[in-house]
Structure 1
Amino acid sequence: MLLHDLPDLSVGLPFLVFEITGFTPDEHITGVLPETLAGRHGRMAVSYTVRPHGKGSRLVVKVVVETGGRPIRRLRRRLLALGDLVMMRKQLLTLKDLAEGTAKDPAEGTSGSEADAAAG
C-alpha cells in the first residue's frame, strides 16, 4: 500500500473530481464526473487499472469523454484534455516515485531513498 490511513473505498465516495462507480482492491478504481460538473464540461469517466508488467506492475489510466455538443463545449474539452495531460503525467510520476520509495519528503526536501541512506 502506498499510503496508510485512507478511508475504505465505496461507490459514491469522492475520488479526485470524480465519484467512484466501481472498484476492485489492488486492481482498479473507476469514477464518473458528478452531474454538476458534467453539465458544465460534458460527461466523463476515468479508470485507473493496475496490470502485471514483467516483475512489477503498470498503472494504466483511461479517460472516456463525451463527444459532440456546441463548439464552445468541444473547445473547452480540448483545452481541458491538454491541461489534463500535463497533470496526469505529474500524477503518474508521483505515484511511481511513491511505489519505488523515491518520493521526496516535503518536510525534509529529500527523497525516501536519500533519507534512508542518510539514516543508515
Structure 2
Amino acid sequence: MNPGLAWGATAAERVDPLPCDDLQPVALQADRAISIDAPYGLVYAWLCQLRVAPYSYDLLDRRGRTSPRRRDPRLTELEVGQRFMGQFTLASFALSEHLTLTAGNIAVTYAVRPEADGTRLVVRVRMGGPRLPAHLLALGDLIMMRKQLLTLKDLAEAEDRAEPGDRLTQRS
C-alpha cells in the first residue's frame, strides 16, 4: 500500500462503498478510520462542527485560533450546499450516518457506524487529477486528518464522560 493512503482503516472498510465514490469515480482513494468510545449520534454531532472549524492543526488551519471545544447543537441543522471547514461544500448527508463533502476534484465521506459500545468513524477521501500531485496531497491529508480524527475522538469522548448537567442536549 502506498504511504498516506490508509490509516486505521481495515481491509473491509477500504472496499466498503461510500457516497464519495460516486462523486469521484476515477480518483486516488485514501481511507482513514478510528474507534471512538462515545455514541454514534454524538460523534455525528461533532462531525457537524466541521462547519465552523477543521479541528486539525489550528496554527495552520485557523491562524492560531483554537477550534471550538464546546459543541454548538445548531450546527446539526444541515442543508446540502452548506460550507464546511471554509473550503468544502456539503454534497449529501444522512442524519447520524454520513456527511459527504466536495471541493474541486476532491470528495470526502465521513461515515459513523455503531461499534460495540461506541462508534467507528470511517473517512474516505477521493482525489481526482494527476496521480503524483494526488499522492502528495494524500500524504499531507494523512497528517492533517489524523490530527482531526484524534481531536474529534477526544472531544466526543470527553462530552460523553461529562456529568449529565454539563452535557449539551443532543439530537440524533
TM norm structure 1: 0.67
Structure 2 residue corresponding to 1:12, chosen from 81, 95, 99: 81
What SS does the corresponding residue of 2:75 show, helix, strand or coil? coil
Q: For residue 140 of structure 2, what is the amino acid of its counterpart?
A: G
**Equivalent residues in 2 for 1:30-49, closer than 5 Å:** 30-33=100-103, 38=104, 43-49=105-111
2:138 pairs with 1:81? yes
Q: Please report the RMSD computed on the Cα atoms of aligned residues, expressed in angstroms.
A: 2.3
CA shift at 1:7, angstroms? 6.2
Alignment: residue pair count = 92
Q: For residue 6 of structure 1, what is the amino acid of its counterpart?
A: L
CA deviation string 1:9-51 (max 9, x = no partner): 1111112221111001211100111xxxx2xxxx110000000
CA shift at 1:75, angstroms? 2.8
CA shift at 1:6, angstroms? 2.1
Summarize the Cα distance change of 1:51–1:95 in structure 2 as closer, same or farther, 3 Å threshold: same
Structure 1 stretches lacking a partner, 5+ long: 103-111
Structure 1 residue corresponding to 2:113, chosen from 51, 54, 62: 51
Larger Rg: 1
Structure 2 residue corresponding to 1:95, chosen from 152, 158, 164: 152
Q: For residue 87 of structure 1, what is the amino acid of its counterpart?
A: M
Structure 2 residue corresponding to 1:64, chosen from 126, 130, 143: 126
Q: Give the Cα separation in 2 of the matches to 1:65 and 1:81.
A: 8
Structure 2 stretches lacking a partner, 5+ long: 1-44, 47-70, 167-172
Summarize the Cα distance change of 1:8–1:58 in structure 2 as closer, same or farther, 3 Å threshold: same
TM norm structure 2: 0.48
What SS does the corresponding residue of 2:149 show, helix, strand or coil? helix
Q: Give the Cα separation in 2 of the matches to 1:52 and 1:6.
A: 22
2:84 pairs with 1:22? no
